[in-house]
Structure 1
Amino acid sequence: MEKQRKVTMQTVADEAGVSKATVSRAIGNYPDISDSTKKKIYEVMERLDYHPSAIARSLANRISKNVGLVLPADDDFFMNPFFQESLRGVAKTAGKRGYDTLIAYNGKNETNAVKRLVNSNKVDGVILMRSVIGDSTVNYLRKINFPFILIGKSREYNDIYTVDTDNADACRKLTNYLADYGCKKIGFIGGRRDSMVTIDRYDGYLQSIRENDLYFSFDLVEENEFNKLNGYMSMKKLLEANQDMDGVVITDSLIFSGAIDYLSSVGREKDIMIGAFGAESNSFSKDKHRVVNVDVGSMRIGEFSCGKLIDILENKDVDLADIVDYIIED
């Protein structure tokens, strides 16, 4: 059996048709290397699965003093109040501690955005804005041992640094609130099925349904992308299948906004009680709708995540998992 060749910086240089020194300076993001040459070198590194992070961080002890914030690969996330508030928290904390915030986005591929930051030595650590099952970005950062914080939690790993809310408990108590109010048939509208926040909040919803011995069927559940249009369509589907539904739990602010638009369009504002995460950003709607809100502390999550990452970069002791308190508001 042929022995697999070890990939080195010289291998990358040979494949890219440049010198080893040029590869080293491209990794260190030196300005004397053209963008086109850097791009060619990064593409070769990607193809050969070469991970130079340890080298990049050691080059002349270069430290960027930048924190990278990686956005999910969907345009609607830019409009999400959770992102906006979390970003404020990250930037505020980074500035106080002498760091700047660098935002990375790459269309439909978050991992490529992260690789671009890491390979060019633009950031000292990364914050991932949400967690999904089988996340290739988490796998990549673990593989190269690059500092990062995950907002949310990982189903696959228990050895990564996270900042989260107890979403299952929050949704259980939110659904209980609707049950205590007198709702007998409570629906659920969540985001993507592979999203850990949707999974946890759905688990909390089901736990409350069982505890209160309430009616349940799968046509009371809608899960889709985190955006306003899907909120509108999900509420429409739930009501078409369940005309007597008197309560609904909604797990996201954008979804909530679309759902209340549908309720208003059919004149059922007062018929259905809503328990929602992030409804405070749509507080105008509370005058027309019966709404209970869960405030997960988006800005506090951003502040805590950034502070924790910088503590790691400065070799301070931190806990693996931290939970930010939530508040239920009626």
Structure 2
Amino acid sequence: MVYRFLFSGKWIAGFIFCILFSLLCLYLAQWQMSRKEALDYKNSLITDNYHAVAYPFEEVPHIFDDFQISEQWHPVSLRGEYVSDQTLLVRNRPFEGLNGFEVLVPFRVSDSSTVVLVDRGWIPAELFDTTAENIEVPPAPAGHLSVVVRVHRGELSTGKDSPSGQIPSINLAEAAKRTGLDIAQGAYGILVSESPAPPVAPEKLKEPELDVGPNLSYSVQWYVFAAMSYIAFIWLARQKVRNDEIDRQVAAELEQYYRQFYDEHGNYIGEEDEEVVLRKMEMADDMPAHMKSIVRPRIQKKRARPSDEEEEDALLEMYDNP
């Protein structure tokens, strides 16, 4: 059986490695697929919620305290007033290729104890000054008004310090600490509209883009790698069978070639020095298989007819020795 070598320790270990490697690839493929599913769900929240009809706050009074991810981006209409003297600026927020700040203003909802942190939009930073000390921030409308905001969960704290009146991220616990207000800790609102509308306002934030991501292609690649491990194992086994066959063929040719130097009793009958022949045989035996196929003897084939040079030499010899 030409494939019995597969039961040797080395090849069994190789097959076990293929199994372990393929299992790892399958795990990574599933992990990439789970990331794709998470991204698909994130995209579905944008497509389903972003342009939905706004909830009246009275119908969902706990939406900013008890935030559910399924409510991400959903509009909510609020009535109340801004606490403008507690405005915060979020540092290092890019917008259309420029650096700037996002303006956060607490909004106290009427007939409720809820205070919602509202992101009113983006303002540019000075080119060489990011302290915001000399930047004019469009003021929030004063008095009682109606606003529509999109629900968004808060961000993680960066752990960095920031100047007075600024905040490094939209971390709701840190915003509550900076303002001294009981800000809702489940989510904040991204401004959609204000009524009455102010004459000047920050740039509204753009609608988030749907992100397809490369996770599906990565998952397929890991499945391919899992299959390729077995394909490589089969190919190597087939190559070994092929190489073993070549080795047997080369060994037979070498044996046939060197047999001509000895008679049936083992006596040397060659014309060349026997020591030279023995050294050649030893060198051939010590060579790896791929070298034997290169140096194996080529038996000269006898031509059916002499060459032109041989015929010319024969004629000259006939004239010289009549």
Same structural fold, with TM-score higher than 0.5 when normalized by the shorter chain? no
In the superposition, the TM-score normalised over structure 1's length comes to 0.23
In the superposition, the TM-score normalised over structure 2's length comes to 0.23
Flag the structure with higher helix content: 1
